[in-house]
Amino acid sequence: MRVEFKSTKLKKRYESIREGERAWGNEVARRYVERIGILYNIREIDDLKSIPQLKYHPLTGNRQGQHAITLISRWRLVFTLEGVEQDTIRIEEVSKHYGD
């Protein structure tokens, strides 16, 4: 899969773990880099279902069309699928689920 980033901040936080650590702390930043590495290496989105610790799921409601995987605890990585063949993953945000 191809991976794109919604913002330069998200890209920098992938390319430099120190940037991610400043924003989210050590563990979340480490998992962010690790999870994006997984996204680069999958062939299709359904491959994520075979990795239980990711807890991959499509989002619903006002987030319909977005997908999420778990980083740690309530932290998640939200992304969308782009392109005619949906072969590009666009990293949208890292958030703490339920806002707590």
Distance CA 43, CA 95 (A): 25
CATH number of residue 71's parent domain? 3.30.2310.20
Query: What is the pTM assigned to this prediction?
Result: 0.92
pLDDT value of position 100: 47
Domain count within the chain: 1
Domain that holds residue 36: 2-99
pLDDT value of position 98: 61
* pLDDT, tens only, 23-67: 999 999 999 999 999 999 999 999 999 999 999 999 999 999 999
